[in-house]
Chain A
Amino acid sequence: MSPKRIVLRFGTDISVKPIVYRLVKDYDLVVNIVKADVNPQKEGTMVLEVIGDQSEQGLDYLREIGVSVQDLNQEIIRNDDKCVMCGACTAICPTGALYLERNSMEVKFDGDNCVVCQLCVKVCPMRAMEVRL
């Protein structure tokens, strides 16, 4: 069985809960934490690889307690012809993958920090952020 790659996003209330422990203990899942981050606003993002017979039940548990769960089989790219470097995405991006370089005030995109939550795709006023399968 190949691992399922997923992206979790959660708020302050979840950041203090041992959700990975629950996946292992209650659903008998093998969990590999690929990336994990809690930003200064205490919003969390996590990229997991999950293997186990009860993986769907485990993910349902996460959704029930208010975690956003998305499959990670896509990547985000920036259409440089459309981006006008306004910055509207930079305080929305939960992982700091989109950020403003100070002084130049240019918008930078660091794909390594992107967890494909797709918030930027929705909020970009120029529709410059695109999902690629």
Chain B
Amino acid sequence: MSVEKTYAEINAKIKAGKAVVVTAEELIGLVQKKGLSAAAKEVDVVTTGTFAPMCSSGAFLNFGHTKPRMKMQKVWLNGVPAYGGIAAVDAYLGAAELPDDDPLNSNYPGEFRYGGGHVIQDLVARKPVKLKALAYGTDCYPRREFETTITLDEINEAILFNPRNAYQNYNCAVNLTSRTAYTYMGMLKPNLGNAHYSTSGQLSPLLKDPHFKTIGIGTKIFLGGATGYVAWHGTQHFPSIQNLEGQDLGPAGGTLAVIGDLKQMNPRWLVGTSYIGYGATLSVGIGVPIPILNEEIAKYAAATDQELFAPVVDYGEAYPSRTPGNLGYVSYAQLKSGKITVNGKEIPTAPLSSIPRAREIASTLKDWISNGNFQLTEPVKLLPSPADAPAANVLRA
């Protein structure tokens, strides 16, 4: 009979220090050695990891009230605007936000050396950050201007809340045009000069739970070096199973909205990031534990780089113009080999997602759980799965 485990049983083993925890890569080795059934029986938790630029990230901050009081309608941190259109002295600092005086792409390609993601990293690194605020003045909030220096420890709250992180899968980006393309997938040389990809493949959280059998609202995760939670499905969460002429090419399209206490996090796992010609962002470290409740969940978690595929997409012309279709699929094993063949041409590949850091996250999360410091949470509600088939909207003028 195949194995069935509950969250409560797994947590009891974690508490007793007896849980068997392995990383997703270790699980692959175990399944190859002992077979799926034995591995599913033996292993309680599989840990995953990803460390990559995730633009849909940011932090809610509450600065504390000034004396006299102030509404802080317009807010800047180190010159980067934060959104102040919420209650007094609350603001949301977005990772992709840029200073008002940034030259942007006026001197193409722009450098985007400092943006919201860099401010977040500076805050987490406990560096002093300049706060400037303006307001129109009310009877209850009379103050109109304020400037000071803050540190993360001095302000009331700092909550990392990222509406779209941990993309399940991502395009492999190439450039078919005859000019260099500066994109969020990095610098793409003309005429298929290089190919960039951005997931950790067989270590990546959502590639290991394609049908969202375990990940849902309330799932406790590794976020930015601390514990965080899955808050909701991410924006543009359109999970599907890729299929080419009947061949299952693995999942794509799922995303997570995640939340956690910025004050507990670490600048090693929240890194300000700049893409030439594109913009500023934040690289985020995320690790999701997958409880091996049954053999089916183990089978998905053991998917290998050979079984997971990315579509190859032209970012010179097809992507910006939203022309449908792709240039074929390549496996993560091919991508990680350093070379793929597109339109008959062999081209070098490079990741934008750090595999060494993804491994470090999976192994750190494994240690937390093995040491009994991190119990699993049963989701309040699972996220929509490919069977729920949400579809992307096309915005028309």
Contact = CB atoms under 8 A, between A and B. Distances in A.
B196 A84 contact: no
Given A102-B338, A104-B356, A105-B336, A87 B271 contact: no
Nearest to B53: A125
Nearest to A83: B354
Contacts of A119: 187
B302 interface: no
A87 B283 contact: no
B350 A92 contact: yes
A100 B357 CA distance: 14
A92 B351 contact: no
A24 interface: no
Interface string A76-98: 00000000111111111000000
Interface string B100-111: 000000000101
B193 A90 contact: no
Contacts of B338: 100, 102
Contact of B348 (A41, A84, A86, A106): A41
Interface in A1-40: 40
Contact of B354 (A43, A87, A122): A87
B132 interface: no
Main SS class of interface, A? loop
B355 A105 contact: yes
A40 B283 CA distance: 31
B276 A122 contact: yes
A126 B271 contact: yes
B195 interface: yes
B111 to A, nearest CB: 8
A62 B196 CA distance: 31
Interface in B340-397: 346-357
Interface residues of A, number: 23
Contact of A85 (B111, B196, B274, B357): B357
* Best-buried of B52, B187, B275 by chain A (most CB within 10 Å): B187
A127 B115 CA distance: 13
A65 interface: no
A125 B274 contact: yes
A123 B283 CA distance: 15
Nearest to B269: A84
B337 interface: yes
B113 interface: yes
B187 A84 contact: no
Contacts of B187: 92, 119, 122-123
Interface string B147-187: 00000000000000000000000000000000000000011
B206 to A, nearest CB: 19
B273 interface: yes
Given A84-B354, A126-B273, 6 more contacts: A41-B189, A85-B356, A86-B353, A86-B357, A105-B356, A122-B109
26 contacts: A40-B346, A40-B348, A41-B347, A41-B348, A43-B193, A84-B51, A84-B271, A85-B357, A86-B51, A86-B283, A86-B352, A87-B351, A88-B350, A89-B350, A90-B348, A91-B189, A91-B193, A91-B348, A102-B337, A102-B338, A105-B351, A105-B355, A122-B109, A122-B187, A123-B276, A125-B283
